[in-house]
Structure formats: structure tokens, C-alpha cells
Amino acid sequence: MSERLYWDAPYETTFSSKVIGVTPEGVILDKTLFYPQGGGQESDRGRLVKEGLIFEVEFVSKEGEDIIHHISSELRNKLQVGDLVSGEIDWNFRYGVMRAHSSQHILSALIKNKFNIDTAHATISFEDVSLQIARDISDAQFKEILNEFIRVCTIENHEFHTSLISRDEIQGVKGELRGKVPDQGKVRLVELKEYDLICCGGTHIKNSIEIGPVFIYEFSKGKNFKYKVGFSAVNQLTSNNTDILNSAQTFNLPATKLIRNFQKQLEKKSILQQNYINLAITALKLVSLHPNTEINNVKVGLLEINLDYKLIQKQFKEFPNEYLLILKEENNKIHLLSNSDKAQANRLLEPFLNKYGGKGGGSPYSAQGTLNDFPVDIISELSF
């Protein structure tokens, strides 16, 4: 059994210990500051030292009550049961994970307290959190949560407290708990006054203000959050702020009006796209009624147009029987649609690929390709 020093001393970085077990993966110590991966939190990393020999620890796992420090296989035989070692965790990494884990508790608690929505899954790594909640929230609810979340992490002082209690004692606070109670003899509680009380075995900071800046880089489907904290958040915020200022200068706008202006441009683009689609549909209807020519009792229509293929297919269903539609698109692309057995699209495409070079293929009813050169008068070269 390994004594968990990281529970009582999460800010300590060095310790002395004794090897009590050697496994195929690494070594077990009688006590350790290394947090093993679990509960969604990434494990600590660092090193063990024995008489000047350094063993890099890149991963830590837990088996029952034993904590296994994974070290490289070529050095594993250098450690034996009874050896005394000193350990040192990577403090920068530990502190980044602590900040991230404590921030996740705050965010999950806010969502639970405000909207009674549980956290379905959380992954904690260095200065990065991925969180999924059980039900989706609206943009307005997201904004409300984000406002308080950032306040708590950056300008308000809220202390985290931890305690180890028995399963009997936990009955007295069960109604206040967020989340499930683990099936074990002793239960560790992590509390943030006025916000949260939860069973958790992870490492945490002392005060919420230590978390610092938060940068949400993904909020999708109303329930998936991804964000950065600490220096990673600072770097991302700095980069984004610089990009915004440069863009604002390019458009000769105040930075505060850039997003609204961008939204207006998107709205205009959307209107233009819809107008183009309407015109393209009108052009398809006209060419269906007034083909360019007729060959062997098959009507042939030609259009230069760039339009979603599914929309073209839908419109082609309205074309008269015995019709071949040729679409010339940008970058020398060609598309043939046919509802006639006399004018099979894939067979008609082959001579153009052979003569002008390129690649393509398809079926008797639909074929497409890209030509190295495009014929000046494609209809005059048709033969069927």
C-alpha cells in the first residue's frame, strides 16, 4: 500500500521513500507525491533518484492501493525492494493540472447549481479541460455561466478545502454532495465554499484566484466545453487579441465592432448565395425548356454554372425525357447528366478525357471529370 502524500501536501515537490515492490511496468513506493492517473485527471510526471542514478517517471498508475511509477525497462532492474529513493515531481506540470482540475469543479458546480445539469464526463490535462454535460444549454445560459466562471477564477477569492471522512460520516452531508459517492471505506471530499462539495481524489489548488485567465476554445452542441487555463490561456488570449486588433485595423473598425461587422458580412454573403442559387435554378429551368440543340432525338443543354450537385440532381428530375445536360464548372470541370439510353454520360465523357487529357468517370446517368484543356465547342464534338 502506498501512502498518498499528494493529498495532504499538493504543493510539495520533493520527497524520500522506499521501494516496496517492483512490477513489469515500474516500482511501488511506500509513500509518494506522484498522483496516479484516474478520475479523468492525467498523472504526474517527474523523476526518481537512487545514488545519483536518475529514473524518469512519465506515467503513474494505480492498482488497488498500490501506486506504480512507470520507468523505462532498461533501468527497471536497477531498483530493488528495500532501496531508498528520492522523488521529484514536475511542478510546472502538476500546477497546470491542479489549476485545470479545480476550474472544472467550479464550472461543473455552476452548471449544476444554476440549471440542475450534471457533468457526464471530464478530462483533465495540463492547463486544458474537456467537459461534457448531460443536457444542452442555450447560448444565453452559456453566457451567464461563463461570466461567473471567469469572475471566480480571476478576481474572486474562494478557498478549496479537502477532508477525509468515513462512509458513516458522509451520510450527514450526502444531500449537499454533487456527484456519486465511491464504494470505499474512506471518502475524500473537496469543498469550495458556497459552490461545491464533491468526492474527489485529485490534486487541487488552495484558492480559485490561482486559476487565472480562462480561454474557451470550443462550445459545441450546447453541452461540450473545451478550454485552457493558466499560461496556455494567456498565450491564446494574447494571440487572439492581436489577431482581432490586426483585423480591426484592416477593416478600419474599432475592435469592439469587428464581430458585429463580420456577422453583417456573413448575412450579406448568405443573401448573395441564395440569390445565386435562385438564378441558377431559373437558368436550369430555362435550359430544360430551351435546349441548345438536339442530336438523334436527344435534347442537349449546356450551362456554365457552379452549384451544389444535389441541387442540380433534384432539378434534373424535372427535365423532359431524352435529355443530356452538360455543365461546365470552374477549373475545367465537366459534369454530364442524362436520362436517355442513347446518350450515356460515362461513355460520352471518355472521348473528351482521351482527347484533352484529365481524369473522371461515372455511370450512364451521371459522369464528371476534370480536363487538362476544355474544348471550345463541346456540343459540336458530341457523337451518339
Residue 55 has a pLDDT of 94
Average pLDDT over residues 168-191: 82
pLDDT in the model for residue 174: 73
Confidence tier at 65 by pLDDT (50, 70, 90): confident
CB 322 within 8 A of CB 339: yes
Least confident of 2-6, 159-163, 185-189, 365-369: 185-189
81-112 pLDDT, tens digit per residue, is 999 999 999 999 999 999 999 999 999 999 99
CA angle 105, 4, 10 (to 5 degrees): 50
| Distance, CA of 26 to CA of 22 (rounded, Å) | 6
Q: Which residues have CB under 8 Å from 78's CB, separation 6+? A: 50, 53, 55
Average pLDDT, the chain: 92
**Neighbouring residues of 260: CB distance < 8 A, sequence distance ≥ 6:** none
CA angle 156, 159, 165 (to 5 degrees): 155
What pLDDT, in 10s, does the model give residues 121-137? 999 999 999 999 999 99
Q: Which pLDDT belongs to residue 311?
A: 86
The full set of domains in the chain, from first to last, is 3-89 (2.40.30.130), 95-249 (3.30.980.10), 275-381 (3.10.310.40)
pTM exceeds 0.95, yes or no? no
Inter-residue contact 14 to 87 (CB < 8 Å):
yes
Report the Cα 175 to chain-centroid distance in Å.
34
Q: Which three cell numbers stand for residue 213?
A: 485567465
Summarised one tens digit per residue, pLDDT across range 304-363 is 888 788 888 889 999 999 999 999 988 899 999 999 999 999 999 999 999 999 999 999
CA distances, 315 to each of 28, 282, 368 (Å): 70, 10, 17
Q: Can you tell me the distance from the alpha carbon of 9 to that of 318, in angstroms, rounded to the nearest whole number?
A: 75
233 bridge partner residues = none
Residue 265: band (very low, low, confident or very high) from pLDDT cuts 50, 70, 90: confident
Q: C-alpha 18: how far from its chain's center?
A: 41
